[in-house]
Amino acid sequence: MPSFLEKPHHQLSIVQNYYSDSLFGLSKNRHRKSLRVMKEQRVDETEDQISKLPDPISHHFMGLLLAKDAAQISTLSKTLYAAWSSLPYLNFGDRFFYREVHGRWILSEKIQELVHIVDQTLANRKKHKISVQKFWLKVPSSYRMSSSYVRNWIKILVTSNIKELILKVGESDSSFDSLPEELFVVEGLNVLNLRGFKLGLPPDHGIKFSSLRKLRLTDTYLDEQLIQALCASCVCLEKLRLSCCRGLASLRIAASLQKLKTVWLRCLPELQIVDIAAPNVENLYIESQLWNLQVVKITCCKSLQTLYIVDVDVTDGWLEDLLVNQPNLECLSLSGCLKLQKIKISSDRLKYLALSWCLELINVVLETPTLTRFRYKCDENLPTLKLMKSSVFLVLKLEFSLTNILDSHWYSMLMKFLGNFKQSKAIKLDCCDRDGIVIPKDTRENMVPPLYVANATWYIKFNTFGDCSLVDILDSLLWISPQLDTLILVQESNLNTTLKFIDEDASAEGEKFLWRHKLKKVRMANFTCMEQQELRNYLFTNEDYIGEEAFSKLMEWDCDYCRRKELHLLVDNDEEAIADVKKLLMVSLIFGAFKEV
């Protein structure tokens, strides 16, 4: 073990030497001098160990820090200072020109001083011919700081053989003109991430990004000719991401980009035509802004595994043709596709499907035996769903945003929709209010419980319970799924409440609809005392159905839970909660004594 890691041993040696000197009657000053000498020796040993670290390791650890923190650490020793002076990773981060005030980040008043720090740092590396492999900085807008500084920094980085450049403008105002032409001929550049700049094709049309693997442009004005030149020259490009960029009316990603794996196109307000022809794209995200994207072509992408389409008016025929030509598709998400009416998917590879706010959708047919996640998000409009093949591991997530008064027809559609998931092990419901799941009792009389054979776990999340109670929700869910395994109510506080039902086997066909006949035990967690009592009263409404043995077990468990809850609350010294628990215990004991009589 290196000596600088043996801190307890050094401290023990110092203490032992101190007391040894005391036994020989040495003066108090001698004690202090001896202690100081030992400490200095310990520091020297530590510095010796640090100085033995190879430069790549020192650079690696310091490169994990922001430049400001690395510079502060460099003052601790000559070795660390030397490592900082030659550090090839300069991460100034997104907040170098900002300061925190009451939890908010505002622009610093010392901009010129901070600009001088960046200037000096880059000038030193240029002077000593030190390579800068990574540079990350977010700068204020040009009306706060002259753009000439940024252009000068880029020129220095180009001469320093920059490998990864992340440069952002704080408030995008399109005032940072085109970048220096020298940047477009850096053959060793691997990552380029720009925000808030104007990009145009250089006058000599020289673009030599032969090593570029990742390109990300945000809030940037683009020239269509520049994009086409980039696609032609960046033969090693693996990831392309364009977000909130202007100047593009059409975008064609050519088949020459053989290594391109991920394409992300988000909110390009002027974009109307997209043509993706790169053959090895695996992940594709296309989000239109206000449905302005008119044409989307995805051809030759036989390797596509993940596809997200957001706010694009694709049609039934477009989707059908796409799915036929994508045999490896595993994840499909369609959101805001307002022209979709019918969806039919037959796939042995699809594992995740999400349909959100496709408001005109009326019919969905799925033959997907490997599907394990299905998410549907909508308002009151529910399509007719036919799940022909499904996995036993399928999890349904259903999200409602209800605005109108629901009628019996809607509840009937909901029951038919849920009836497709009899084999599902988990169902997640996110609803803005209780009307989406509390089925009126008069409506239940004309329906069959859709999940009477499902032994599933339900996750319920409500923004508000409205006028209904916890018992109303439980009663409705036990009608929908009489063999409910677990009910979890997701709370905003992240302290979820849980009901675990333990039943006997329901062999008779008629008993599958009557959960009380076979209820053996109920376990509760994280409910308040009042909620426990309400649930208890509901579960014991008909004692004959439960039976004496089940009643005793429930009673025993309930009291045991209260005792454990009381002990837990005693630790927190919550006197009011303790009083509530004592009252509940008294009610439970009285109820038990009454039963015996």
CA dihedral 343, 344, 347, 350 (to 10 degrees): 20
Taking the C-alpha atoms of residue 367 and residue 356, their distance in angstroms, rounded to an integer, is 19
Mean pLDDT estimate for the chain: 80
Q: What are the C-alpha distances in Å from 423 to residues 272, 426, 448? A: 43, 9, 17
Q: Please report the DSSP string for 27-39 in residue order.
A: -HHHHHHHHHHHH
Mean pLDDT across 109-114:
91
169 and 145 in contact (C-beta within 8 Å)?
no
**Which pLDDT belongs to residue 79?**
83
Count CA atoms within 13 Å of residue 577 on its CB side.
15
Percentage of the residues of the chain whose pLDDT score is greater than 90: 40
**Sheet strands (E) in 134-271:** 134-139, 164-169, 176-178, 191-195, 197-198, 214-218, 239-243, 250-253, 262-266
Q: Give the least confident one: 23-27, 46-50, 531-535, 578-582.
A: 23-27
CA angle centred on 318, ends 312 and 319, rounded to 5°: 85
**Which pLDDT belongs to residue 546?**
42
For 207, the token pair is 């673009």
Mean pLDDT across 30-48:
52
On the question of pLDDT at 53 being above 80, the answer is no
pLDDT tens digit sequence for 192-217: 999 988 888 887 767 889 899 999 99
For 96, the token pair is 């170098």
**Which pLDDT belongs to residue 452?**
81
On the question of pLDDT at 65 being above 80, the answer is yes
Backbone torsions φ then ψ of 20, nearest 5 degrees: -65, -45
Q: Please report the DSSP string for 86-111 in residue order.
A: T-SEEEEES-TTEEEETTEEEE-S-H
Q: Give the least confident one: 78-87, 174-183, 419-428, 578-587.
A: 578-587
**Which pLDDT belongs to residue 551?**
43
More confidently predicted of 117 and 78: 117
Q: How are strands ordered across the β-sheet holding 384-389?
A: 342-346, 363-367, 384-389
pLDDT tens digit sequence for 305-322: 999 999 999 999 999 999
For 515, the token pair is 């959960």
On the question of pLDDT at 168 being above 70, the answer is yes
pLDDT tens digit sequence for 146-161: 788 888 999 999 999 9
**Which pLDDT belongs to residue 537?**
85
For 192, the token pair is 């380029």
Q: Which amino acid is at 257?
A: L
Mean pLDDT across 374-382:
89
Q: Which amino acid is at 23?
A: L
Residue 355: CB atoms within 10 Å? 21
On the question of pLDDT at 509 being above 70, the answer is no
Residue 319: CB atoms within 10 Å? 20
On the question of pLDDT at 479 being above 60, the answer is yes
**Which pLDDT belongs to residue 572?**
46
More confidently predicted of 274 and 586: 274
More confidently predicted of 60 and 332: 332
Mean pLDDT across 126-130:
91
Taking the C-alpha atoms of residue 219 and residue 241, their distance in angstroms, rounded to an integer, is 12
Q: Please, which pLDDT band fits residue 143 given cuts at 50, 70 and 90?
A: low
Q: Please, which pLDDT band fits residue 576 given cuts at 50, 70 and 90?
A: low
For 255, the token pair is 């088949």
Q: Give the least confident one: 19-23, 396-400, 479-483.
A: 19-23
Beta carbons within 8 Å of 140's beta carbon, 6+ residues apart:
97, 107, 111, 169, 170, 171
For 134, the token pair is 């990574």
**Which pLDDT belongs to residue 354?**
97
366 and 387 in contact (C-beta within 8 Å)?
yes
On the question of pLDDT at 552 being above 90, the answer is no
224 and 247 in contact (C-beta within 8 Å)?
yes
